[in-house]
C-alpha cells in the first residue's frame, strides 16, 4: 500500500493544490487505504472536516487528526451519503475494480455540494506485449486477466475517465497523469513484487502463467538494472454545477 502512496501522492497533492480548496471544505475520501491523502486534506481544511472511508479500515485507525473521522463503508452497496454534503470527494484505484463503475461514479457525483470537486485517480496497464521482457509481460497479462475474472476489474477504463466525469454531469473537467518507471528499489517495483507474489498461487492455479515464468518476472523486479514502463496513473477531476 505504501508503494501506491509513493507513486501517486505527488500527483494527487499537485492536483488538489490547484483546486484551492477552502479551509472550511468538507471532504470525503473513498477507499482511503493508509490515509495519506485524508491526513493531508485534514491539514489543509483545518476549519472543515475529512471523512475517510474504506471497506477495511485497519490502517486508518491510527489517524489522529481532530477534524478527521474514519468510517467503514462500501461505496457499492453501503449507506448513501447526503446529497450535496461535500466540497471535495477523492478516490484512488477504486472505480477500476467496481462493477457498474460508471453508475457508481454518477451516484458519487451527487454527493457533491454546488461547486464541489470530484477527483478520481485510476491506473492504466500499458500494453504488455510491448514490454522489454516477455516474462514480465506474461506476468502482468496474467494479473490483468485474474483481476478481471475475480472482480471485473478494467485496467483500461481510466482512458475514458474524463468522458465519464462529463457523463456524470460535472463541468470544468481536466486530466493529468504520471508514468511509472521501474527502477531498482523503486515504488513500482515494490508494488509489482508484493502484488504478484500475493496472487501467484491464484494465477498459476488458474492456468494463466507457470511458476518458472512468474519467478523470472519477480526476479526482474528485484533487478536494479531493469528499466521499463508498466503502468500509468490518470488523475481526472470535474466540478459540480448543481
What's the pLDDT at 183?
A: 82
Return the HEC string of the chain: CHHHHHHHHHHHHHHHHHCCCCCCCEEEEECCCCCHHHHHHHHHCCCCEEEEEECCCCHHHHCCCCCEEEEECCCCCCCCCCCCCEEEEEEECCHHHCCCHHHHHHHHHCCEEEEEEEEEEEEEECCHHHCCCHHHHHHHHHHHHHHHHHHCCCCCHHHHHHHHHHHCCCEEEEEEEEEEECCCCCHHHHHHHHHHHHHHHHHHHCCCCCHHHHHHHHHHHCCCCCCCEEEEEEEEEEECCC
Please state the pTM of the whole predicted model: 0.94
CATH classification code of 2-239: 3.40.50.150
Given a cut of 70, the residues of the chain with pLDDT beneath it are: 1-2
The domain limits of the chain are 2-239
What are the tens digits of pLDDT across the range 115-159? 999 999 999 999 999 999 999 999 999 999 999 999 999 999 999
What's the pLDDT at 1?
A: 57
What's the pLDDT at 4?
A: 81
Amino acid at each position: 500500500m505504501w508503494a501506491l502512496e509513493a507513486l501517486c501522492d505527488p500527483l494527487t497533492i499537485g492536483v488538489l493544490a490547484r483546486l484551492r480548496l477552502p479551509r472550511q471544505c468538507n471532504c470525503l475520501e473513498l477507499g482511503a487505504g493508509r490515509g495519506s491523502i485524508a491526513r493531508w486534506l485534514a491539514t489543509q481544511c483545518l476549519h472543515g472536516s475529512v471523512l475517510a472511508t474504506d471497506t477495511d479500515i485497519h490502517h486508518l485507525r491510527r489517524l489522529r487528526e481532530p477534524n478527521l473521522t474514519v468510517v467503514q463503508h462500501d461505496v457499492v452497496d453501503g449507506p448513501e451519503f447526503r446529497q450535496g454534503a461535500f466540497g471535495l470527494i477523492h478516490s484512488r484505484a477504486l472505480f477500476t475494480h467496481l462493477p457498474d463503475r460508471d453508475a457508481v461514479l454518477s451516484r458519487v457525483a451527487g454527493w457533491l455540494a454546488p461547486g464541489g470537486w470530484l477527483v478520481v485517480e485510476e491506473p492504466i496497464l500499458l500494453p504488455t506485449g510491448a514490454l522489454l521482457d516477455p516474462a514480465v509481460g506474461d506476468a502482468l497479462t496474467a494479473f490483468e486477466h485474474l483481476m478481471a475474472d475475480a472482480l471485473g476489474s478494467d485496467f483500461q477504463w481510466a482512458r475514458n475517465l474524463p468522458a465519464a466525469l462529463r457523463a456524470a454531469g460535472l463541468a470544468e473537467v481536466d486530466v493529468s497523469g504520471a508514468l511509472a518507471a521501474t527502477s531498482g528499489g523503486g515504488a513500482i517495483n515494490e508494488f509489482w513484487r508484493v502484488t504478484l507474489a500475493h496472487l501467484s498461487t491464484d494465477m498459476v492455479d488458474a492456468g494463466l502463467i507457470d511458476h518458472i515464468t512468474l519467478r523470472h518476472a519477480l526476479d526482474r523486479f528485484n533487478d536494479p538494472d531493469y528499466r521499463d514502463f508498466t503502468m500509468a496513473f490518470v488523475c481526472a477531476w470535474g466540478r459540480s454545477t448543481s
